[in-house]
Amino acid sequence: MIQIEQLTKRYGAFTAVDEITFTARPGRVTGFLGPNGAGKSTAMRMMVGLTTPTSGTATVLGRPYRALPTPSRHVGVMLDATAQHAGRTGRETLLLAAIMAGMSRGQVDHALERVGLTAREADRRVGNYSLGMRQRLGLAGALIGNPQVLVLDEPANGLDPAGIRWMRGLLRDFAADGGTVLLSSHLLHEVEQIAQDLVMIGRGRIVAHGTKEELLSGTGTVVDSPDRGRLGTLLDAAGWKPQARPEGGFVAEASAEDIARQALSEQLLITELRTAGGGGLEEMFLQLTADDAREGVTGHERSAA
């Protein structure tokens, strides 16, 4: 269990993480989703005691990370797989991690096997590893203390499709055995495939969170017509609160059948009609990304002026 309450990090006047509150529960994989620069890594660093919060709290298994005895026996952490010591071999890296966790040497082979690194690969220097191999090694290091909680920052980054499928299985099994997994990603579809719960963050703030089903099963219906003006009036008159979509048409709060019947009775041609489904979440995410991109451009112009 990871409990985050009102967690905030400011760097001078800039707020990187803004009063976020959520819980990652045991037995579930929680996806921490947000565009680049949203504050995911900063929040995760605060969870594992590497960055001091400006305010708010983060506890793992009921205690602040720093108060856990032998933390790696409770929480497996992988924040930046590229930051591993380049001169050591994979095996040496894991051996050190095992010693620090107070685990036996035998755990090293077990961990290597669990992440699919061969003995030959384990004896190569980490500096010569591909990004995917580093991710596997990082995951092995996180698992070595046999923890109940995993905190993983962009673990799928650099993995090929087979690697992503493998990792999904590993994390699902870990959660199915009662473990808590929190993983970040800037890719909605990647998180959708792995996580059961989602927390979406944009510019330091949580913009949506809940189970994947709750978030993806948007209640609205997408509808479009060549005569958008009449369609909007019809939906509005029926009290279905039409929202114009950037790509055209509307999302309305009514079933597809109710909308179809109303349009038929008013002889209005409908060219698109479907349940909004996951579109709501995807659109929210794209909107976040677009807003941030625009803001980046403005900031650039300002500093150049």
Total interface residues for ligand ATP by CB under 6 A: 11
**∠ CA(250), CA(295), CA(45), 5° rounding?**
105
Residue 38 or 216: the one with the smaller Cβ distance to ligand ATP is 38
Site for ligand ATP in 18-37 (CB under 6 A): 34, 36-37
Binding status of residue 139 toward ligand ATP by CB under 6 A: no
Residue 103 or 188: the one with the smaller Cβ distance to ligand ATP is 188
| Helix/strand/coil for 206 | strand
Total interface residues for Mg ion by CB under 5 A: 2
Read off the DSSP letter of residue 63: B
Binding status of residue 42 toward ligand ATP by CB under 6 A: yes
Binding status of residue 82 toward ligand ATP by CB under 6 A: no
Binding status of residue 185 toward Mg ion by CB under 5 A: no
- HSE value, Cβ hemisphere, 13 Å, CA-based, for 298: 6
Q: How far is the CB of 292 from Mg ion (least distance, A)?
A: 13
Q: Phi/psi at 39 (nearest 5 deg)?
A: 115, 10
Residue 141's binding partner among Mg ion, ligand ATP, none (Cβ under 5 to 8 angstroms by kind) is: none
Instruction: Find the Cα–Cα–Cα–Cα dihedral 71, 120, 164, 147, rounded to 10°.
Output: -20
Q: How far is the CB of 60 from ligand ATP (least distance, A)?
A: 18
Q: Phi/psi at 200 (nearest 5 deg)?
A: -105, 130
Residue 33 or 117: the one with the smaller Cβ distance to Mg ion is 33
Binding status of residue 186 toward ligand ATP by CB under 6 A: yes
As a whole number of angstroms, the distance between CA 149 and CA 136 comes to 17
Place of tokens 């009102």: 6
Place of tokens 């900063």: 42
Q: How far is the CB of 260 from ligand ATP (least distance, A)?
A: 41
Residue 32 or 250: the one with the smaller Cβ distance to ligand ATP is 32
**Quick check: 131 and 151 in contact, CB under 8 A?**
no
Binding status of residue 41 toward Mg ion by CB under 5 A: yes
**Given the rule CB under 6 A, which residues bind ligand ATP?**
11, 16, 34, 36-42, 186
